[in-house]
Amino acid sequence: MVQDSETQHFLSVYQNSENLLLSLVNSILDLNQIKANNLKLNMKKIEVSEIRKKVLCLFEFQFKMKRAGFRVRTVEPIERFIVTDKNRLTRILINLVGNALKFTQKGRV
């Protein structure tokens, strides 16, 4: 089945939103593990740009609706790969960008 680029974009946003909801549930579960002193990290080598794209895609529509700009600047040199817990790092970035969007009335983040 052939889909136009707009449909593919919305499917991507839907999938990212689904992942965000799953991330929220996992955050709640993590709190319980922290309280039980039983939290384990899932450390793996990941590509930094993959997480950046995922977070940007998730908030792209909200930034457009609010008419706020969003730009990512990196300080050179930046590592292409890092070893981290991908899900937890993604949640941290989602929280940071979400809060920045929420408290930005005009201008850009």
Q: Please give, one letter per residue, the 3-state secondary structure of the chain.
A: CCCCHHHHHHHHHHHHHHHHHHHHHHHHHHHHHHHCCCCCCCEEEEEHHHHHHHHHHHHHHHHHHHCCECCCCCCCCCCCEEEEEHHHHHHHHHHHHHHHHHCCCCCEC
pLDDT at 29: 80
Confidence of residue 3 (pLDDT cuts 50, 70, 90): low
What is the value of pTM for the model shown?
Answer: 0.68
Confidence of residue 93 (pLDDT cuts 50, 70, 90): confident
The CATH label, of 3.90.1170.50, 3.40.50.300, 3.90.1140.10, 3.30.565.10, for the domain at 5-102 is: 3.30.565.10
